[in-house]
Structures are given as C-alpha cells and as structure tokens.
Amino acid sequence: MNTFFLGARSEFYVTAASDCPYLEGKKEKKIFTFLGGDKAAEFNALLSRRGFRRSQNIAYLPACDGCNACRPVRIVVEGFEDARYKRTFKRNADLNRTLTPAKVTEEQFSVLRDYLDSRHDGGGMHDMTVLDYQQMVEQTPVDTVIIEYRDEAGKLLACALSDRLEDGLSMVYSFFDPEASKRSLGTFMIADHVRLAGELGLPYVYLGYWVDGSPKMDYKRNFAPLEVLSRDGWTVMRKR
C-alpha cells in the first residue's frame, strides 16, 4: 500500500500474524512503515494523530483480523487535575527531572535490567541486551529524549523515553527502580509528563494503546481527561 506525504511516497506493509502479547488466544498483525529523511518528525506526528506508535525507525498500527481491542489513547493537558495525584507528587517531591539526549548510559541500562527482571520476567523484552536497548533509544529519526528522574543524592530512579510531537509528548517506553515501588513511579512519570507538556505549551500526552480486556494495560484508564481514537476521530473516553 502506498500513500503520499508532502510529495514523497511512503510505503506501508503488513506483518504476518503472531501471538498477541496482551490477549490470550488472539493473533496480532500490524501495518507499519519506515520513518526517515528530513520530514520524519512531521510524518511521525501525523501518524501519531492517526493512532500509530513509533518503535525505532518504524511507525506501526495494529491491524488484527476480527479484533479492535487496541485503542489509541491520549491525555488532554487542559483540565488535568494535579490534585488527584497530590500524594504521588508528594512522595516524589525530592526527584529532579532532567531531559537528556537519546543516548544510552550504563546507569540507565542497569535500572532497566532490574526493572525487567522484577516486573517482566519471561516477557518479550526480558532478554534485552545493552545493544537492544541502544537500538531502542538511539535509532530514532525524530525529536526524542530520555527523561531521567534522580533523587537528591543523584541516584537514578526512573527513565522515560519520549518523543516530542507537534501537538504533544509521546511516551515510548518507561521504567524504574523496582526497589522504589512505594513511590508509584509509573503513575508519577505519566502525571509529570502532563506537567511537562503544559510547560512546553503542548496539548496532549500520548500513552499508546489501551487494550480492552488486558489487565496490564488498564492503568491507562485512570488518567483524565482521556481521549480515545475511533472511526469518528478523537473522542472523550473519560472526563474525570
């Protein structure tokens, strides 16, 4: 399948069916295209508004036969209530947020390995090597940063790999020190991305896919105002 973007032809492909990582007994297929060139950021932003996600230099969209459980969702910055996360922000008031270039460090990978071993043992990313991590982080044709969160002693506790789009921040992947689980760092990073988007004058935070029927993706419904992409465009899924 071909399409044209700013005068250049883009080709889309469909993957073979494979086991769905979210719903037992289901098969997944994806439409994908490659990102590159001086218009990659604009193309990625356009595709993100249409429900695509980025992985390295690929933008993809679920295209499963007879299933539409994967629903793109985004938080609306305007109307987001910081007060709902008062305790989470208080627990992490000692953390410093730093936006760093999309470059891998040993310190980041050490936190990632602890996170995968603790939270995703046996998952698809469990065997990730430092080379795999480097490709995930550094193989990007768009405006990508790693947002680091450190305590007052300078210890790295959490990281988020995020893209800056024309209309928001897109959280590609995040991880944290499992020994700091009482801080609710997963929730904190999402809420702090909403704060950061507001500081940057961006209206949305893209969270990827909420998967109907998948408990491990249900946390995304806790954030509001939340919009979901349907055939009618982006519509409110949850106001508060």
Q: Are residues 38 and 86 both part of a single domain?
A: no
Q: Do 40 and 84 fall into the same domain?
A: no
pLDDT of residue 150: 98
- Which residue range(s) make up the domain with 232? 74-238
pLDDT tens string 4-54: 444 445 789 999 999 998 899 999 999 999 999 989 999 999 999 999 999
What's the burial of 59, exposed, middle or buried (CB within 10 Å: 0-12/13-18/19+)?
buried
Q: What is the pLDDT of residue 123?
A: 55
Asked whether residue 136 falls in the same domain as residue 202, the answer is yes
* Per-residue pLDDT band at 170 (split at 50, 70, 90): very high
Q: Which CATH number fits the domain that encloses residue 174?
A: 3.40.630.30
Question: In this structure, are 111 and 204 located in the same domain?
Answer: yes
Q: How many CB atoms lie within 10 A of CB 79?
A: 10
- For the beta carbon of residue 78, count every other beta carbon within 10 angstroms: 8
Residues 61 and 97 in one domain: no
Same domain, 101 and 133: yes
Query: Are residue 142 and residue 234 in the same domain, yes or no?
Result: yes
Instruction: List b or e across 143-173, with b for residues whose CB sees 16 or more CB atoms inside 10 angstroms.
Output: ebbbbbbbbeeeebbbbbbbbbbeebbbbbb
Mean pLDDT of the chain: 91
User: How many structural domains does the chain have?
Assistant: 2
pLDDT digits (tens, 9 = 90+) for 215-230: 888 899 999 999 999 8
Q: What is the mean pLDDT of residues 81-86?
A: 90
* Domain co-membership, 194 together with 102: yes
In three-state form (DSSP H/G/I as H, E/B as E, the rest C), the secondary structure along 46-59 is: HHHHCCCEEECCEE
142 and 40 inside one domain: no
Q: Does 122 score more than 60 pLDDT?
A: no
Q: What percent of the chain has pLDDT over 90?
A: 78
Asked which of 17, 52, 68 is the last residue of a domain, the reply is 68
Please name every residue paired with 149 in a beta bridge, in sequence order, or none if there are none: 97, 158
- Look at residue 127 in the predicted model and tell me its pLDDT: 80
In the DSSP assignment, the letter for residue 124 is: T
Of 162, 183, 178, 166, the C-alpha closest to 98 is 162
- Run of H or E residues at 24: none
Cα separation, 28 vs 20, whole angstroms: 5
Choose one of 14, 39, 68: the last residue of a domain.
68
Question: Please, which pLDDT band fits residue 121 given cuts at 50, 70 and 90?
Answer: low
Same domain, 82 and 26: no
- pLDDT of res. 14: 94
Q: Are residues 119 and 176 in the same domain?
A: yes
Same domain, 8 and 85: no
Q: What pLDDT was estimated at residue 9?
A: 57
Q: Which of 38, 68, 98 is at the close of a domain?
A: 68
- Please indicate, yes or no, whether the overall pTM of this predicted structure exceeds 0.95: no
Does pLDDT of 82 surpass 90? Answer: no
